[in-house]
Structure formats: structure tokens, C-alpha cells
């Protein structure tokens, strides 16, 4: 019995002395998390303020003021696949549109969501995006009016300038309204 007890004690001591891998600890600063960064998070409210200011200029017909929020290399895309490249081309298009096609634009029921894309899920750029939804009432030079919803995504570069804008819109009703004669 003594031999059995002595053998059991030796086995327990050998098992207890077995080397365990070192445990690493990570220091956490107050207010920070040790968890991995989420793929998407909320961005600063100032992007909403910047977007609202720019959109107010657009609806007022101040295309130059609106374009002050753009980077020189902006890419302006529509959901149908059409696009414009460069600030000068975007300004030229919208100045012509406001002078010759659109009489007035009113926006209402707007929703703004600033986000930061930390890990792109698809083709979107990493960084700060401002997502916007609003209802538009457009009156055209032929006196036709149309009310519709628009969704716009705006990406901001490191200088807080919009370098990518995507406008999701159904252009078929707009084209139909423009086809009508005065």
C-alpha cells in the first residue's frame, strides 16, 4: 500500500511540474478595447454637417460652392453605370444641367449616416463614407415636376474632400418627364 501511495504521489508531482506555455497579456488603455476592430463603425458627426452644407448649396444652384467639397480627382458615378471623372467634368455637367434642364430642386425627408469602413466587404474603398437618402422634388425647364427618392454615397479622402460619389437613382421617370414638350 505504501508503494502504491508513493507511486501516486510521484505521478502527481511529475504532472504538476509539467511546463505550461506562457500566457500573454495585452495592456488595455482606458476607453480602448482589446477586441479586433469592427469591419464598419460610425464616423464623426462632422461629416453629416459637411454633407448637409454641400447639399444645401447644390439645391440652391450654387454648383461651385457644392464642388468646393470635392477632391480634384473625384469620381461621380450613377447606379446605372454612367460616370464622370475629375472635378472640372463634374462641375461642367451639373452647371449645364442646372442652366438648361433643371429649374429647381427641393430636398426633404433626409437621412444621413456617417460610417468608417475599416475592412472593405466588396469594391468599396476603405475610410470614411457618408450615406444619404432624401426625397427630391425637381421641376424642369419644361415645367414638368417629379418627386422621387435618391440615395447618395460619398467617400472622403484624408483631406476631408469627397473623392467618390455614387448616386442611386431611377433615371427612367426623369427621362420621361424631360421628353414632354412645354
CATH classification of 40-179, choosing from 3.10.450.50, 3.40.1110.10, 3.20.20.370, 3.10.105.10? 3.10.450.50
Check: CB of residue 165 under 8 Å from CB of residue 86. no
Question: In whole angstroms, what separates CA 112 from the centre of its chain?
Answer: 10
Sequential pLDDT tens for the chain (182 residues): 556 555 555 555 555 555 555 555 555 555 555 578 899 999 999 999 999 999 999 999 999 999 999 999 999 999 988 999 999 999 999 999 999 999 999 999 999 999 999 998 887 889 999 999 999 999 999 999 999 999 999 999 999 999 999 999 999 999 999 998 76
Task: Extract long-range pairs of 90-96: CB within 8 Å, 24+ residues apart.
Answer: 91/63, 91/64, 91/67, 94/58, 94/63, 94/66, 94/67, 95/63
Burial (CB < 10 A; 0-12, 13-18, 19+), residue 138, is buried
Amino acid at each position: 500500500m505504501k508503494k502504491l501511495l508513493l507511486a501516486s504521489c510521484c505521478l502527481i508531482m511529475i504532472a504538476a511540474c509539467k511546463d505550461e506555455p506562457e500566457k500573454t497579456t495585452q495592456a488595455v488603455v482606458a476607453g480602448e478595447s482589446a477586441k479586433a476592430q469592427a469591419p464598419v463603425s460610425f464616423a464623426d458627426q462632422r461629416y453629416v454637417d459637411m454633407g448637409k452644407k454641400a447639399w444645401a448649396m447644390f439645391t440652391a444652384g450654387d454648383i461651385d460652392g457644392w464642388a468646393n467639397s470635392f477632391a480634384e480627382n473625384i469620381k461621380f458615378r450613377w447606379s446605372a453605370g454612367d460616370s464622370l471623372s475629375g472635378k472640372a467634368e463634374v462641375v461642367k455637367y451639373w452647371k449645364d444641367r442646372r442652366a438648361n434642364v433643371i429649374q429647381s430642386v427641393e430636398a426633404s425627408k433626409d437621412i444621413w449616416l456617417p460610417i468608417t469602413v475599416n475592412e472593405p466587404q466588396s469594391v468599396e474603398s476603405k475610410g470614411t463614407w457618408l450615406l444619404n437618402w432624401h426625397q427630391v422634388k425637381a421641376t424642369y425647364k419644361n415645367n414638368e415636376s417629379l418627386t422621387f427618392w435618391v440615395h447618395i454615397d460619398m467617400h472622403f479622402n484624408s483631406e476631408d474632400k469627397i473623392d467618390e460619389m455614387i448616386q442611386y437613382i431611377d433615371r427612367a421617370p426623369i427621362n420621361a418627364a424631360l421628353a414632354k414638350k412645354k
